[in-house]
């Protein structure tokens, strides 16, 4: 089947001006998407700030076709991330350059490598859990943010000692400012311009990474050590600027996303006491299925984007012009009863013993740009939750579910995934 033809056929959609659609998208993101789907069907066209004219997809066959189309047909939609993460960031690259970098970055995140990081995650989890209060409600998100930050600093940056302490201070405000600058059209001029602060922090960051590169153990297990050893097909290695940009990208992509998913896991579990009781038996399969179901029902990234690279790209029922943007609504496909029967019900058993279809269960996106840290994040979430269930009794609640709150990179539970815990007497601090 050819995917190229000349006549454009776009799905229907609202005709309100961009500012009006944008205000709606900002204030009512998920409800807005659900309404548009109810009115126009599984694909519709929107006109919103940042993404401009874009087709939103939620049909499984069309999503699969998009994810499996080569970069000559659809590729990265760069939404200013190169300005903040650097020009070598995975998020700024497309075509062959993206493929080349991905080939080097994938191996450190796979298979046996992950086992070496489990211990780091467990240590960071135990360190944080030692501070949890008993019997009073508290938000778990700040703890989850510290665990995932520290785990990335140690496992990915290979940071210990002074560099670890300095990066822990510098990176959270640096990434927050960077994500604001990525979406706000602020020119780089003027004395009190936030870009100045951002560039000062970037220089500090680069200087710390330089020290880490100088100290790196060539036989080390951390991702930085492996990136320093790795070679392109022509024998050349990654340059210092490439390494700085990629490490910052890995942190930005992997820190808040994993922490917010963990906070949602706490939020969901407390509202499902029967599941909590079943999980106490230390059943890894059910725990893995629970993580899949948390990510299905509370995806922390709700859209992933591509741009059409050739005129007349035929995508399912539609023919799109070159330059048009395509957004995959992760939230809408996860919500669809035809794809996940009784989709509104939180039921991890739907995944027990079955791997999800990776073009339908898509919290990590899909295809050649699927999340590079998916296996790392899955390992990390399993270690944190297993440790939590081993150390604490999580007290159930009948309070209504927490609402979604946008933190810039990811959607978090609005009250931070509040928990009440009791320490188990046999938990141990091993």
State the binding site for heme.
371
- Residue 257 tokens read as 């996303």
164 vs 195, beta carbon nearer ligand HEM? 164
For residues 72 to 91, the per-residue mask of contacts with ligand HEM, x marking binding by CB under 6 A and - elsewhere, is: ------------------xx
From the CB of 155, what's the least distance to ligand HEM, in Å? 8
Among 226, 371, 394, 419, which residue sits at the site for ligand HEM (rule: CB under 6 A)?
371
From the CB of 408, what's the least distance to ligand HEM, in Å? 14
- Residue 227 tokens read as 């990136």
Stretch that binds ligand HEM, among 252-260, 276-284, 340-348, 415-423 (CB under 6 A): 252-260
Stretch that binds ligand HEM, among 5-13, 227-235, 255-263, 384-392 (CB under 6 A): 255-263
Closest CA relative to residue 326, chosen from 314, 340, 338, 343: 314
Residues placed in the known binding site: 371
- Residue 33 tokens read as 């998407």
Among 348, 373, 413, 416, which residue sits at the site for ligand HEM (rule: CB under 6 A)?
373
Cα distances from 424 to residues 156, 343, 395, in angstroms, run 32, 34, 12
Cα distances from 71 to residues 310, 364, 369, in angstroms, run 10, 18, 10
Query: What residues does 329 pair with on adjacent strands?
Result: 303
128 vs 245, beta carbon nearer ligand HEM? 245
For residues 275 to 304, the per-residue mask of contacts with ligand HEM, x marking binding by CB under 6 A and - elsewhere, is: -------------------------xx--x
DSSP single-letter state for residue 80: S
153 vs 301, beta carbon nearer ligand HEM? 301
Stretch that binds ligand HEM, among 212-220, 369-377, 395-403, 418-426 (CB under 6 A): 369-377
- Based on the shown chain and the rule CB under 6 A, indicate whether residue 108 belongs to the binding site for ligand HEM: no
Among 376, 394, 411, 412, which residue sits at the site for ligand HEM (rule: CB under 6 A)?
376
- For residues 222 and 250, give the distance between their C-alpha atoms in angstroms, rounded to a whole number: 13
For residues 147 to 186, the per-residue mask of contacts with ligand HEM, x marking binding by CB under 6 A and - elsewhere, is: -----x---x------------------------------
Note the helical H segments in 156-283: 161-183, 194-215, 223-229, 240-270, 273-279
- Based on the shown chain and the rule CB under 6 A, indicate whether residue 261 belongs to the binding site for ligand HEM: yes
- For residues 66 and 324, give the distance between their C-alpha atoms in angstroms, rounded to a whole number: 13
| Chain mean position to CA 257 | 4
CB atoms within 10 A of CB 291: 20
CA dihedral over 416, 421, 427, 429, signed as positive or negative: positive
Count of CA atoms in the C-beta half-sphere (13 A) of 19 = 0
Site residues (CB under 6 A) for ligand HEM, limited to 4-33: none
* # of chain residues touching ligand HEM (CB under 6 A): 26
The separation between the first and the last C-alpha atoms of the chain, rounded to the nearest angstrom, is 58
Residue given tokens 């659609």 in the structure block: 21
- For residues 293 and 290, give the distance between their C-alpha atoms in angstroms, rounded to a whole number: 5
188 vs 351, beta carbon nearer ligand HEM? 351
Among 58, 257, 307, 391, which residue sits at the site for ligand HEM (rule: CB under 6 A)?
257
Cα distances from 83 to residues 91, 181, 182, in angstroms, run 10, 9, 7
Phi-psi region of 282 (alpha: psi -120 to 50; beta: other; left: phi over 0): left
- For residues 223 and 121, give the distance between their C-alpha atoms in angstroms, rounded to a whole number: 15
86 vs 365, beta carbon nearer ligand HEM? 365
357 vs 399, beta carbon nearer ligand HEM? 357
From the CB of 429, what's the least distance to ligand HEM, in Å? 26
- Which phi and psi (to 5°) does residue 137 adopt? -75, 140
DSSP single-letter state for residue 231: B
46 vs 372, beta carbon nearer ligand HEM? 372
- Based on the shown chain and the rule CB under 6 A, indicate whether residue 372 belongs to the binding site for ligand HEM: yes
Stretch that binds ligand HEM, among 159-167, 248-256, 280-288, 344-352 (CB under 6 A): 248-256
Closest CA relative to residue 107, chosen from 223, 267, 24: 223
- Based on the shown chain and the rule CB under 6 A, indicate whether residue 392 belongs to the binding site for ligand HEM: no
Stretch that binds ligand HEM, among 131-139, 276-284, 336-344, 358-366 (CB under 6 A): 358-366
Among 11, 13, 86, 363, which residue sits at the site for ligand HEM (rule: CB under 6 A)?
363
Among 258, 290, 319, 329, which residue sits at the site for ligand HEM (rule: CB under 6 A)?
258
> Interface residues with ligand HEM (CB under 6 A)?
90-91, 102, 152, 156, 249-250, 253-254, 257-258, 261, 300-301, 304, 363-366, 369-373, 376-377
């Amino acid at each position: 089947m050819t995917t190229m033809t000349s006549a454009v056929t776009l799905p229907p959609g609202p005709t309100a001006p961009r500012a009006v659609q944008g205000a709606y998208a900002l204030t009512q993101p998920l409800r807005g998407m659900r309404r548009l789907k109810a009115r126009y069907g599984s694909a519709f066209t929107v006109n919103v700030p940042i993404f401009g004219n874009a087709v939103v997809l939620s049909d499984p066959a069309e999503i699969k076709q998009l994810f499996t189309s080569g970069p000559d047909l659809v590729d990265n939609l760069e939404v200013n991330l190169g300005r903040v993460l650097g020009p070598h960031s995975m998020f700024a690259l497309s075509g062959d350059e993206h493929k080349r970098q991905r080939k080097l970055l994938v191996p450190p995140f796979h298979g046996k490598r992950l086992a070496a990081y489990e211990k780091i995650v467990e240590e960071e989890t135990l360190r944080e859990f030692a501070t949890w209060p008993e019997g009073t409600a508290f938000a778990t998100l700040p703890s989850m943010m510290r665990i995932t930050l520290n785990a990335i600093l140690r496992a990915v940056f290979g940071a210990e000692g002074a560099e670890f302490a300095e990066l822990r201070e510098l990176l959270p405000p640096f990434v927050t400012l960077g994500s604001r600058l990525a979406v706000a059209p602020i020119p780089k001029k003027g004395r009190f311009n936030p870009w100045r602060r951002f560039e000062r922090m970037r220089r500090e960051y680069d200087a710390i990474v330089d020290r880490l590169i100088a100290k790196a153990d060539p036989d080390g297990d951390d991702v930085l050590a492996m990136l320093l050893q790795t070679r392109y097909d022509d024998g050349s290695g990654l340059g210092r600027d490439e390494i700085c940009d990629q490490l910052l990208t890995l942190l930005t992509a992997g820190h808040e996303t994993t922490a917010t998913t963990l906070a949602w896991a706490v939020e969901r579990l407390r509202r499902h006491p029967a599941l909590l009781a079943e999980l106490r038996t230390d059943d890894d399969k059910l725990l893995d299925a629970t993580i899949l179901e948390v990510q299905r029902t509370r995806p922390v990234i709700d859209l992933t984007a591509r741009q059409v690279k050739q005129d007349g790209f035929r995508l399912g029922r539609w023919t799109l012009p070159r330059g048009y943007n395509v957004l995959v609504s992760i939230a809408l496909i996860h919500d669809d009863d035809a794809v996940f029967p009784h989709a509104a019900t939180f039921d991890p058993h739907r995944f027990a013993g079955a791997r999800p279809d990776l073009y339908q269960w898509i919290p990590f996106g899909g295809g050649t740009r699927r999340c590079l840290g998916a296996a790392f994040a899955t390992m990390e979430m399993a270690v944190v939750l297993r440790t939590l269930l081993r150390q604490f009794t999580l007290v159930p609640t009948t309070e209504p579910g927490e609402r979604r709150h946008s933190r810039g990179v990811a959607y978090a539970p609005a009250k931070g995934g509040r928990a009440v815990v009791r320490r188990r007497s046999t938990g141990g601090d091993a």
